């Protein structure tokens, strides 16, 4: 078995683990810092909205020897706006200029035709009005809002309202970071970006729901024992699915990284950047939030429940009593028969971890005398 597989098995059995929930204030601080950076970047630089949202024109040239830089400069001089140029097959160019009026579009088309040495009608022009862009933006917001509402309703029914709230906060966290990165990098926001954002929400929820499902099973009848608090059970559930979450995230990130860095960067297929950047950043942020944000938030909310507070008090009292008896050399309470009818080392129902075992020589009469048979 590989080292990662061995570590995953040990995490699953509860032999090792990291206190994610106990150190939640550190993760909250990191998330707040990243989120503030994203919001500042969004406020200062803003989003580079594509013509589908802001309106503008797209010019497609015939086969030409004119370079992308020369065509860009010609379009910018004629329109007074920034132009985005993509080199297509057969040595043709695609220029995109936002916020153009019909008169500016015609002037830009004529300037490009003159630069290329062709007739004006050879430069194909598609004009997108700002009103159509507003409709697309409104539909995108409606789609996002409906998605969020459905997610909250489903999680509240399948699990509980605290988990629904934690998942919603994690989703907003992922969206904010992704949009902030777009503002800082300056990539164009297109309908492909919206599709990417909606896609990463599903990936983000996947890991979160896996942990929540394990936590739901582990916390059944939790108040009937006095060995673990809710936060400790949440941490054990998170550790048991940790390697699985890491593996699925890495496998999902690899092809997206190929689209972003090889397709969009090395091969120059800039049209892939809009969706691949959203997927890459969103997948990474989603994996982080499912481990460091969602589950610790559930533990925080759950620990406010009076039953969980009473349980935590009983757990602390039992541990203090056992520590005092250990110092005095007395046997611990429940060492032989356990409290509440449980064996001393038994964990609550559904909790993954090692269970105490008695010596094989004393179980079920299976042990035999070490002497010679007569």
Q: Which domains does the chain have, with CATH numbers?
A: 3-49+132-306 (1.20.1640.10), 56-128 (3.30.70)
**What percent of the chain has pLDDT above 90?**
8
- 154, 208 contact by CB (below 8 A): no
Model confidence, pTM: 0.71
Q: Does 48 or 283 have the greater pLDDT score? A: 283
The mean-pLDDT minimum among 37-41, 133-137, 213-217, 277-281 falls in 133-137
Tell me what pLDDT residue 11 has.
57
pLDDT exceeds 90 at position 338: no
Tell me what pLDDT residue 266 has.
59
Tell me what pLDDT residue 3 has.
60
Tell me what pLDDT residue 351 has.
42
What is the residue-averaged pLDDT of the chain? Answer: 77
Tell me what pLDDT residue 128 has.
75
Q: Does 124 or 90 have the greater pLDDT score? A: 124
Q: Centre a 10 Å sphere on the Cβ of residue 84 and count the other Cβ atoms it contains.
A: 18
Q: Quick one: average pLDDT of 197-226? A: 82
């Amino acid at each position: 078995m590989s080292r990662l597989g061995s570590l995953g098995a040990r995490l699953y059995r509860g032999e090792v683990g990291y206190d994610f929930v106990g150190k939640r204030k550190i993760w909250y601080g990191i998330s707040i810092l990243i989120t503030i950076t994203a919001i500042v970047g969004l406020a200062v630089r803003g989003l580079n909205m594509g013509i589908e949202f802001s309106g503008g024109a797209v010019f497609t040239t015939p086969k030409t020897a004119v370079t992308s830089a020369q065509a860009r400069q010609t379009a910018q001089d004629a329109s007074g706006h920034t132009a985005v140029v993509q080199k297509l097959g057969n040595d043709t160019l695609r220029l995109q200029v936002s916020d153009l009026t019909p008169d500016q579009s015609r002037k830009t088309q004529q300037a490009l035709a003159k630069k290329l040495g062709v007739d004006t009608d050879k430069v194909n022009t598609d004009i997108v009005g700002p009103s159509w862009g507003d409709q697309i933006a409104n539909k995108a917001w409606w789609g996002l809002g409906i998605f969020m509402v459905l997610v909250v309703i489903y999680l509240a029914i399948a699990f509980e309202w605290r988990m629904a709230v934690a998942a919603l906060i994690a989703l907003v966290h992922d969206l904010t970071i992704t949009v902030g990165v777009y503002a800082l990098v300056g990539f164009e926001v297109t309908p492909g970006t919206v599709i990417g954002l909606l896609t990463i929400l599903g990936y983000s929820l996947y890991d979160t729901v896996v942990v929540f499902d394990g936590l739901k099973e582990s916390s059944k009848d939790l108040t009937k024992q006095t060995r673990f608090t809710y936060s400790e059970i949440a941490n054990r559930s998170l550790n048991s699915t940790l390697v699985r979450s890491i593996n699925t995230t890495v496998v999902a990130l690899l092809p997206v990284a190929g689209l972003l860095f090889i397709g969009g960067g090395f091969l120059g297929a800039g049209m892939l950047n809009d969706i691949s950047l959203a997927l890459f950043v969103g997948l990474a942020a989603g994996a982080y939030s499912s481990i460091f944000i969602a589950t610790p938030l559930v533990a925080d909310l759950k620990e406010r429940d009076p039953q969980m507070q009473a349980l935590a008090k009983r757990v602390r009292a039992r541990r203090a009593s056992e520590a005092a008896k250990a110092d005095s050399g007395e046997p611990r309470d429940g060492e032989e028969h356990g409290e509440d009818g449980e064996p001393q080392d038994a964990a609550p129902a559904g909790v993954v971890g090692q269970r105490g075992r008695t010596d094989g020589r004393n179980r079920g009469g299976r042990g035999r005398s070490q002497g010679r048979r007569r």
